[in-house]
Amino acid sequence: MLIAKLFRPRAGLRPRSARRVALYLGLGLVIAISKVGKVEGIKACVWRRHPAVLYIGKCREVEVAIPDALDEADNLVKALAEEIDKEPLNLPRGVTLSLEAVLGPAELGVDIDIYSDEEVPRALGITAELAAVLAEPRGYIGDEPIDSFYGLVASEKAAETLRQLARELYRQAAATYVKAATYTGVRQYALTDLIAWIKASRNYALDLPNAIPLYYNPWLRQVARDLYALAPEGYKRLAGAAGLRKALREARSAIKEHFKKSNEVEVRPSRVGELMLLYPKRASPPAKSHEAAVEALREALARAFKYASGDAAREALEHKGYLEWDDYIKALGDALRRELTKNASPRGTQ
């Protein structure tokens, strides 16, 4: 699966604007696939209650003509949003774009589900987290079955395809500006500013062991969420999610270098700080490199938490007679930076 979540600015996004942003993102993926490979056929079905109705014929097919570039998709986005709004407002609803595509050595059918609200896939039990767009491929690379975009990364023959797809999707999004209604008025945003993360997942789980991140915005906040899920259960509550996010500021350079072990990493400015683009490195296969990097990160987190909760806490008590939360968080950040730096390869620390 390729799964994306929206980033909501501080002023918020009104529901209809969030729906339009999700449509831009889903159409951007179709255009990216057509640029990287070849799209041989596409149809759009508006559904209610559950996207699985697509397979039993209970959806309403609508005509779509995919433009050559995402910044030319305004009229199509408006038309699809109006079609979705014809469905009962009290029911889960959305549109599925189904296409047949050739991506490098892979021959795939791809269903791209675009939801009326990010709560829909979680409420339906499809994902454990909020999500705006979910793309699910099915097909083959030769005789090898493929049922996820993670599977493309796991295949030596097709790994380059996902890198190209991620780059093209970013290019399309960066050139597209969206007028969005917030709760303080209408604002114009680059589409890249309204994407929180994009992940290539092997299933519907979105934690790092199961999903390769391709896009983080703002990157430090999104990485902190993923690392909190990865951290040892018995220790992480001492810091809390906010504490780990603060600790990562101390270790941000080391975290970035660690990601470079398995990815080509680009950090770019965004409206809310910095966004991070990650392209899986050429390896044999890249998925194995990602899994090794995640395991090393898990172990570094465990050692850092153990140090901050043990030796660092003991030293603070001996020196001051009490332990402050800020002292604990600083010790955690310093320890994580040291753990990641000492394990970095010479190439990774350049």
Locate the domains of the chain by residue range. Answer: 1-216, 218-263+282-350
CA distance 196 to 262: 21
182 burial type by CB count under 10 A (0-12 exposed, 13-18 middle, 19+ buried): middle
Structure tokens given for 341 = 């730096």
d(CA 8, CA 18): 8
And the tokens for 345? 């390869």
Type and span of the H or E element at 83: helix 74-85
What are the structure tokens assigned to 293, written together?
């990097």
Res 57: pLDDT: 53
Q: Which residues lie below 8 Å from residue 315, measured CB to CB, with a gap of 6+?
A: none
For residue 277, the SS3 value is strand
- Tell me if residue 144 falls in helix, strand or coil: strand
Q: Which amino acid is at 28?
A: G
Adjacent-strand bridge partners of 190? 177
Q: Are the beta carbons of 253 and 246 closer than 8 angstroms?
A: no
Per-residue pLDDT of the chain (350 residues; tens, 9 = 90+): 899 999 998 878 999 999 999 999 999 999 999 999 999 889 999 999 888 876 555 789 999 999 999 999 999 999 999 999 999 888 899 999 999 999 988 999 999 999 999 999 999 989 889 999 999 999 998 888 988 888 888 777 777 888 899 999 999 999 999 999 999 999 999 999 999 999 999 888 889 999 999 999 999 999 999 999 999 888 888 899 999 999 999 999 999 999 998 899 999 999 989 999 999 887 667 788 888 999 999 999 999 999 999 999 999 888 888 889 999 999 999 999 999 998 664 443 33
Residues 257, 340 contacting (CB under 8 angstroms): yes
Helices 286-309 and 325-342, interaxial angle, to 10°? 140
Tell me the C-alpha distance between 347 and 261, whole Å.
8
Write down the pLDDT at residue 286: 73
